[in-house]
Structure 1
Amino acid sequence: MKYILRKHLEGNIPLEIIYLSEQGKITQRKIQVLEINPGHIRAYCFLRQTKRTFKMNNILSARLIKPRYDRSG
């Protein structure tokens, strides 16, 4: 997980995470990793449109967001 997060931080590439909140809710988030700290990350959350802190242990999965291609041209 740390490897994926670090690669996206270095490449300034947004990614999608599945996250378990403190209330036990599972959410899907598009984030831009800003910094990686022991036990948590700071990231811009596109859903909330603000910087958020995410606990590493609560990130269930992370994946690259595939670009959408315009098929009109």
Structure 2
Amino acid sequence: MRNQLIKAMQRQWLLDIIYMAKDGKISKRRVKIIKIAGDTMQVYCFNKCAKRTFIVDNTLAIMPVSRREREVI
């Protein structure tokens, strides 16, 4: 998963991710990765309209956002 996230960051892709928070809650987020450092990644979260920090290992799934969906944002 880490290599896929690095690739997405380098290509500046928008991603839909499924993420599990520390308390076990699962959420779907639309993000753009800003940087990956150690076990964490800093992203811009379009759901919250703010920068967020996520734990890389808590990312359960990623899906690149299609070009057609990007135009809506």
The question of a shared fold, defined as TM-score above 0.5 by the shorter chain, is answered with yes
Structure 2: gaps (5+ residues): none
Query: Following TM superposition, where does structure 1 have runs of at least 4 consecutive aligned residues deviating by more than 4 angstroms?
Result: none
Alpha carbon RMSD of aligned pairs, Å?
A: 1.3
Considering fraction of residues, name the structure with more helix: 2
Following superposition, the deviation at residue 67 of structure 1 comes to 3.0
TM-score of the superposition, structure 1-length normalised?
0.85
After superposition, give the CA deviation of every residue in 1:1-56 in whole Å (9 maximum; x if it has no partner).
11211111111111111000122110000100000111110000001110000001
Counterpart of 2:41, as a letter, is I
Name which one, 1 or 2, has greater alpha-carbon Rg. Answer: 1
Q: What's the % identity of the aligned pairs?
A: 32
- Is 1:8 the counterpart of 2:14? The answer is no
Report the counterpart of residue 54 of structure 1 in structure 2.
Answer: 54
How many correspondences in the alignment?
69
TM-score of the superposition, structure 2-length normalised?
0.85
Structure 1: gaps (5+ residues): none
